[in-house]
Amino acid sequence: MNYAKKSVKDVDVAGKKVLLRCDFNVPTKDGVITSDKRIVAALPTIKYLLDNGAAVIACSHMGKPIATYDAYVKKQTEKGTAPEKITEEAWQKSLKKLSLKPVAARLSELLGIEVKMASDVVGESAKALAAELKPGELMLLENLRYEKGETKNNPDLAKALASMAELYVSDAFGTVHRAHASTAGVADYLPAVCGFLIEKEIGIMGKALADPERPFVAILGGAKVSDKLNVISNLLEKVDTLIIGGGMAYTFLAAKGYGVGTSLLDAEKLDYCKEMMAKAEEKGVKLLLPIDTVIAKSFPDPIDGPIEVETVPSDSIPDDMMGLDIGEKTRELFADAAKSAKTVVWNGPMGVFENPTLAKGTIAVAQALADSEAITIVGGGDSAAACEQLGFADKITHISTGGGASLEFLEGKELPGVAALLDK
């Protein structure tokens, strides 16, 4: 896949109406935004467009609204909701909870300008506001997923979105792995370039995978091997060292013939793990697995509650015990490998990070990346949360804004929302 894509700086935006795809899928409670991180992340691209004389039509999805009343009835019936509660009023209420109005208000505050809010996506309100929009002004369309054609990449919806603008700018990396009307479809009708967020993502991650500074170390964690099948296979073609921790490590340990007690086990993937270990040997890739493990009688309940643990060698997990984090010797082993690298990619926690007692492995990896002089790239989700919570974010070269997208990037998959952009 070609990662050299045109950005907003490669085109003239002055006097043009620009459809800007953002990721404003922010958490809210009772209509109040609880974290505006994604809105703040979009500001550099928005400001650049406004400062350079573009009229900006911003758009985003939020959550998973059910776009039609019939679909709402079906979903609620399947959930066993009492028929008298399945009303059109209840459906409208569920839609209202996922309105982008709070985002428009927050954008207005951050930018110090009025952000005009459309009451629909491609209806009369959106079209009228877009027609009147002047250079240096910003408007926001309502939640894209209010339109059922959005997730189906409906060409009529893509065409209607495109008809309001003269240029398309994609800046929502968290959605580029999906071929939706607003992420890929609109590029069939408008010249398409990327904003600064996506430019950084594909620039740094693309180079790491295509032409890394070596030694190149990848660290994978998380629960299941099946979630990262293609990632493991693809990275074995590229890295010098592959480190595997988290719940997925126990399937690899079991594939080596070790007893793993009641630890998480992807029994159907034992042969796959054996193949990957053989592939690593054949390619001359160092494959590091935990050498000691933090164990407990059961999974913590509640997840962040107190728990009694002990540490044992990874080949000596008792039958009635469960591995829940990497041990101290493994933490040192993994940290040393990360510190000696020139490029490190990390995706997935080393243990049950939500519990303070079982977070030490994940913290050790985050600390090793923060201390490293290498190019360090952290995939979305728990790994990113760990770096941010620990205050290491500014010591990491790049923290990806898209969990699913960064994972598919590591798999070597073509990302539809990136493929649709103009090549440099």
In CATH, what number is assigned to the domain containing residue 273? 3.40.50.1260
Is 288 domain-assigned?
yes
Predicted confidence (pLDDT) per residue in 111-148, tens digit: 999 999 999 999 999 999 999 999 999 999 999 999 99
Residues marked active site are found at 38, 224, 381, 404
Is 417 domain-assigned?
no
Residue 246, pLDDT above cutoff 70: yes
Is 18 domain-assigned?
yes
C-alpha to C-alpha distance for 387 and 81, rounded to whole angstroms: 40
Is 76 domain-assigned?
no
Q: Please check whether residues 183 and 51 belong to one and the same domain.
A: yes
Is 127 domain-assigned?
yes
Q: Please check whether residues 149 and 244 belong to one and the same domain.
A: no
C-alpha to C-alpha distance for 130 and 124, rounded to whole angstroms: 10
Predicted confidence (pLDDT) per residue in 225-237, tens digit: 888 888 999 999 9
* Over residues 385-401, mean pLDDT: 88
Q: Please check whether residues 180 and 262 belong to one and the same domain.
A: no
For the chain, the straight-line distance linking the first and the last C-alpha, in angstroms and rounded, comes to 13
Give the residue numbers spanning the domain of 23: 8-63+98-198
Q: Please check whether residues 192 and 222 belong to one and the same domain.
A: no
Residue type for 53, please? Answer: G
List phi, psi (to 5°) of 336.
-60, -40
Q: Please check whether residues 164 and 265 belong to one and the same domain.
A: no
Query: Where do the H-state alpha helices sit in 213-341?
Result: 229-235, 249-255, 270-283, 328-339
C-alpha to C-alpha distance for 265 and 279, rounded to whole angstroms: 21
Show the beta-strand stretches assigned E in 298-397: 310-313, 322-326, 343-347, 375-378
Is 424 domain-assigned?
no
Average pLDDT along the chain: 94
Predicted confidence (pLDDT) per residue in 55-101, tens digit: 999 999 999 999 999 999 999 999 999 999 999 999 999 999 999 99
C-alpha to C-alpha distance for 47 and 58, rounded to whole angstroms: 12
C-alpha to C-alpha distance for 14 and 100, rounded to whole angstroms: 27
Is 234 domain-assigned?
yes
